[in-house]
């Protein structure tokens, strides 16, 4: 799992290898690295945005972006 | 105004050089801000006349909690937009709200045209009509220097609001600059200033209003202050700021690029928020009364003489919308070139988003042979920043017929030359930088001022799943947010802090200054304000069913894939049904 500099408040690592149990979702992975659900935005898997309840498979590489911000 | 039962309105007749001050008890039910300004616009506008007729009003208003709590820093401007011909509504920070508050005015209504260029100098005790004839045709910075010189005794407690040559020449998307780095950016308020010979306004205030129950007030203030400074809610606006959006929007396929022929930019990493921070960021600023510091200033070096290695360092504000409109949309991949183009647009006094989108269309129109090199004077090609810098000045000067038409907005220009399918506007307002899905697209179409800020449609898209489109739910979500923002903008909070100012916090803030409002009061005010805006739009001839969305919105995939045209119009129809029902409820 990859994050950008934006996540430095929550995790020291920009790239994290996670061991997850079967039926784990994107939301579970976000929680596992300590990023609050309210701060995580678009999650990209294989070049495509996926929802937070997307089920992860072994070897999936996801990138977590912050929420799109603005007024 | 705090502790008052009335709303204090300053009316200024530019032609007669007369003012009057009216205490309006009837306006209290609208809280302030956009609520009060909507009513004042409705009372004073002349729907039968063009937007730039001297009789049309400019209305400014601050809110019921302005300046006394953190991040309640904005002033709303309402007018008839010369760009869309309908509701004009724009917000700016800086010191303007603070100075209106301390000068003792909740709202200002300006009408008629001065005999010659004028600077309005407003203070608690006086309004002066100063001759600005020598400044007409000069840049905004000159005006700022002059105003600072004659208002020197108010140093630190004054705000300067001014236009550049774009406003003087009434370019339909000219902006108004507030205190150097903030703007009433969208929908052409600068042109309305120009149409009144109003070069600048200076507001100075020195009133001191003692807080009555300081203990209660300060407790509430501290709670809000700490949420602004110690939680995650606002930190992102300070850290990288909105440019952080570049990367996720690009990766998700929602970043309008090359006049939105693409939803991703191959050089996005070079213009990302992190890239700007590392290469250009030199300073962060705040509006008065804000502890966050979200205004990001970048720097670039420029040679100003052909010989002798003469250089100057230019500091310019940037955020996501500017990087999108004057960067990815035009194919610019060097942050320093983007900053230089931002600076040119700034000096011209144009809205950066509209300017970028207009230039994107012009580039493609030239490429497709709809216009000629003779029209564009310089060869506009994606990525050609020097040519874009020149084109900005041609728009302002109305260098030829083509640039005069560009100065009326992309909708108008595409009606003249063709290329309407790739003229990226929504109901006449150039698009914002989010091709995230139905929420952002339909949100702009149904939004009262066709802005992404009307209802934050991109947030609706972030919570949506592919293949699970429910038009009714989307329409509900957009309407709920639009109505709620009427209440928030009556305060007038900076919308970056909308998660800080939830309903409970707003009620506590009012209670701490002795105003016992209820949740129902806020809901009723929000609906009343929304209904007022709808009446204004109707009077100005707007019909949602007449809105036609450019085809490219449906050709270039969004974050949620290709959007279906019929579905977008279905959501708009659902929205129309819902607002008709809401209007009836408000009337009843």
Residue of B nearest to A50 (CA): B465
Among A5, A9, A66, select the one facing B248 at the smallest CB separation.
Answer: A66
CB-based contact (8 Å) between B229 and chain A?
A: no
Residue of A nearest to B434 (CA): A68
The string of DSSP letters for B171-183 reads: -TTB-EEETTTEE
Taking the C-alpha atoms of residue B489 and residue B59, their distance in angstroms, rounded to an integer, is 14
Q: Are B194 and B167 in contact (CB under 8 A)?
A: yes
Taking the C-alpha atoms of residue B199 and residue B116, their distance in angstroms, rounded to an integer, is 10
What count of CB pairs under 8 Å joins A to B? 75
Q: How far is A35 from chain B (nearest CA, A)?
A: 11
**Interchain contact, B274 vs A4, CB within 8 Å:** yes
pLDDT at position B157: 84
**Interchain contact, A6 vs B236, CB within 8 Å:** yes
Measured between beta carbons, the chain A residues lying within 8 angstroms of B274 are 4-5
Measured between beta carbons, the chain B residues lying within 8 angstroms of A68 are 245, 248-249, 434, 436, 458-459, 462
Taking the C-alpha atoms of residue B557 and residue B261, their distance in angstroms, rounded to an integer, is 9
Domain B232-429 coded CATH 1.10.569.10: yes
pLDDT at position B588: 64
DSSP B244: G
> B158-182 in b/e burial notation, b at 16+ Cβ within 10 A?
bbbbbbbbbbbbbbbbbbbbbbbbb
Residue of B nearest to A46 (CA): B251
**Interchain contact, B320 vs A70, CB within 8 Å:** yes
Domain range list for chain B = 7-204, 232-429
Residue of A nearest to B319 (CA): A70
Q: Which residues, 6 or more positions from A10, have their beta carbon under 8 angstroms from its beta carbon? A: A33, A34, A35, A36, A39
Selected for mutation to probe chain A from B183, B229, B236, B252 (highest A CB count within 10 Å) is B252
**Interchain contact, A63 vs B458, CB within 8 Å:** no
B426 SS3 class: strand
A62-66/A2-3 β-pairing: parallel
**Interchain contact, B251 vs A6, CB within 8 Å:** no
**Interchain contact, A70 vs B456, CB within 8 Å:** yes
Q: How far is B234 from chain A (nearest CA, A)?
A: 10
Among A6, A47, A67, select the one facing B462 at the smallest CB separation.
Answer: A67
Residues 318-337 of B with CB under 8 A from A: 320-321
DSSP B126: -
Provide the CATH topology of domain B7-204: Aldehyde Ferredoxin Oxidoreductase;  A, domain 1 (3.60.9)
Tell me: pLDDT of A25 over 80.
yes
Task: Provide the phi-psi class of B442: left if phi over 0, else alpha when psi is between -120 and 50, else beta.
Answer: alpha
- B518 burial level (CB within 10 Å; 0-12, 13-18, 19+): exposed
Selected for mutation to probe chain A from B244, B278, B499 (highest A CB count within 10 Å) is B244
CB-based contact (8 Å) between B434 and chain A?
A: yes
Measured between beta carbons, the chain A residues lying within 8 angstroms of B249 are 42, 68
The string of DSSP letters for B15-29 reads: TTTEEEEEEESGGGG
Tell me: pLDDT of A1 over 80.
no
Counting DSSP H helices and E strands in chain B, the numbers are 23, 17
**Interchain contact, A42 vs B456, CB within 8 Å:** no
Per-residue model confidence as pLDDT tens for chain B (588 residues): 789 999 999 999 999 999 999 999 999 999 999 999 999 999 999 999 999 999 999 999 999 899 999 999 999 999 999 999 999 999 999 999 999 999 999 999 999 999 999 999 999 989 999 999 999 988 777 788 888 887 777 777 899 999 999 999 999 999 999 999 999 999 999 999 999 999 999 999 888 889 999 999 999 999 999 999 998 889 889 999 999 999 999 999 999 999 999 999 999 999 999 999 999 999 999 999 999 999 999 999 998 887 878 999 999 999 999 999 999 999 999 999 999 999 999 999 999 999 999 999 999 999 999 999 999 999 999 999 999 999 999 999 999 999 999 999 999 999 999 999 999 999 999 999 999 999 999 999 999 999 999 999 999 998 787 667 899 999 999 999 999 999 999 999 999 999 999 999 999 999 999 999 999 999 999 999 999 999 999 999 999 999 999 999 999 999 989 999 999 999 999 999 999 988 888 776
> H/E/C letters for each residue in B298-364?
EEEEEECCCCCCCEEEEEEEECHHHHHHHCHHHCCCCHHHHHHHHHHHHHHCECHHHHHHHHHHHHH
CB-based contact (8 Å) between B249 and chain A?
A: yes
B201 SS3 class: strand
Among A38, A66, A71, select the one facing B244 at the smallest CB separation.
Answer: A66
Q: Which residues, 6 or more positions from B63, have their beta carbon under 8 angstroms from its beta carbon? A: B31, B32, B33, B72, B74, B97, B489, B490, B491, B492, B493
Preceding omega of B275 cis (within 30 degrees of 0):
no
Taking the C-alpha atoms of residue B410 and residue B253, their distance in angstroms, rounded to an integer, is 24
Backbone dihedral angles phi then psi of residue B227, each to the nearest 5 degrees: -65, -30
Taking the C-alpha atoms of residue B485 and residue B454, their distance in angstroms, rounded to an integer, is 7
Nearest-10 Cα torsion for B389, B391, B397, B398: -170
Q: Are A15 and A1 in contact (CB under 8 A)?
A: yes
Q: Which residues, 6 or more positions from B518, have their beta carbon under 8 angstroms from its beta carbon? A: B507
CA distances from B78 to B231, B282, B528 (A): 33, 34, 17
Taking the C-alpha atoms of residue B559 and residue B364, their distance in angstroms, rounded to an integer, is 23
pLDDT at position B66: 95
Residue of A nearest to B272 (CA): A4
Alpha helices in B407-464 (DSSP H): 410-417, 438-446, 457-462
> Which residues of chain A have a Cβ shorter than 8 Å from any chain B Cβ?
4-6, 9, 36, 38-39, 41-42, 44, 47-49, 51, 63, 65-71
CB-based contact (8 Å) between B439 and chain A?
A: no
Measured between beta carbons, the chain B residues lying within 8 angstroms of A5 are 240, 274
């Amino acid at each position: 799992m990859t994050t950008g500099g934006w996540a430095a408040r929550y995790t020291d690592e920009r790239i994290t290898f996670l061991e997850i149990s079967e039926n784990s979702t994107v939301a579970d992975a976000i929680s596992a690295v300590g990023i609050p659900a309210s701060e995580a935005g678009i999650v990209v898997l294989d070049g495509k945005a996926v929802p937070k309840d997307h089920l992860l498979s072994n070897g999936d590489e996801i990138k977590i972006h912050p929420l799109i911000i603005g007024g | 105004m705090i502790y008052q039962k009335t709303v204090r309105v300053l009316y200024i007749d530019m032609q007669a050089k007369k003012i009057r001050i009216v205490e309006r008890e009837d306006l209290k039910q609208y809280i302030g801000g956009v609520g009060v300004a909507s009513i004042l616009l409705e009372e004073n506008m002349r729907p039968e006349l063009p937007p730039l007729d001297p009789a049309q009003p400019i209305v400014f208003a601050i809110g019921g909690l302005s300046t006394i709590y953190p991040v309640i820093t904005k002033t709303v401007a309402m007018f008839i937009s010369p760009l869309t011909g309908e509701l004009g509504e724009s917000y700016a920070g800086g010191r303007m709200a603070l100075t209106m508050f301390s000068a003792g005015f909740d709202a200002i209504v300006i009408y008629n045209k001065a005999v010659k260029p004028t600077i309005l100098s407003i203070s608690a005790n006086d309004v002066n009509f100063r001759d600005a004839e020598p400044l007409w045709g000069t840049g905004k910075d000159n005006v700022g220097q002059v105003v600072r010189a004659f208002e020197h005794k108010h140093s630190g407690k004054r705000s300067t609001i001014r236009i550049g040559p774009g406003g003087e020449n009434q370019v339909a998307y000219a902006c108004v600059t507030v205190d150097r780095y903030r703007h009433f950016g969208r929908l052409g308020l600068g042109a309305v200033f120009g149409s009144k010979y109003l070069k600048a306004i200076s507001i100075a205030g020195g009133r001191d209003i003692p807080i009555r129950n300081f203990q209660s007030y300060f407790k509430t203030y501290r709670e809000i202050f700490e949420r602004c400074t110690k939680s995650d809610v606002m930190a992102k606006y300070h850290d990288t700021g909105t440019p952080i959006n570049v990367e996720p929007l690009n990766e998700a396929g929602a970043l309008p690029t090359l006049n939105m022929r693409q939803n991703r930019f191959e050089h996005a990493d070079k213009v990302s928020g992190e890239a700007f921070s590392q290469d250009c960021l030199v300073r962060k600023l705040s509006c008065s009364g804000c502890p966050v510091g979200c205004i990001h200033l970048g720097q670039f070096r420029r040679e100003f003489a052909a010989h002798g290695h003469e250089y100057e360092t230019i500091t310019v504000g940037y955020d996501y919308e500017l990087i999108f409109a004057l960067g990815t949309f035009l194919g610019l991949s060097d942050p320093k070139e983007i900053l230089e183009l931002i600076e040119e647009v700034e000096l011209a006094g144009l809205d950066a988003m509209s300017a970028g989108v207009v230039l994107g269309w012009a580039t493609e129109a030239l490429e497709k042979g709809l216009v000629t090199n003779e029209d564009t004077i310089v060869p506009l090609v994606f990525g050609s920043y020097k040519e874009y810098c020149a084109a900005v000045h041609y728009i302002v000067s109305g260098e030829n017929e083509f640039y005069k038409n560009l100065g009326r907005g992309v909708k108008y220009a595409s009606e003249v030359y063709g290329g309407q399918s790739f003229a990226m506007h929504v109901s006449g307002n150039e698009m914002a930088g989010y091709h995230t899905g139905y929420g952002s697209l339909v949100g702009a179409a149904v939004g009262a001022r066709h802005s992404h800020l009307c209802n934050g449609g991109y947030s609706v898209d972030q919570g949506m799943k592919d293949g699970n489109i429910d038009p009714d739910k989307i329409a509900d979500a957009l309407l709920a947010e639009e109505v709620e923002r009427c209440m928030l903008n009556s305060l007038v909070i900076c919308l970056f802090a909308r998660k800080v100012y939830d309903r409970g916090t707003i009620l506590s803030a009012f209670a701490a200054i002795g105003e016992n409002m209820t949740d129902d009061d806020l809901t009723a005010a929000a609906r009343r304000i929304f209904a007022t805006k709808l009446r204004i739009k109707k009077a100005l001839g707007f019909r949602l069913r007449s809105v036609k969305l450019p085809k490219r919105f449906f050709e270039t995939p969004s974050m949620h894939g290709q959007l279906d045209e019929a579905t977008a119009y279905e959501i708009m129809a659902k929205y129309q049904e819902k607002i008709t029902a809401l209007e009836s409820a408000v009337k009843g």
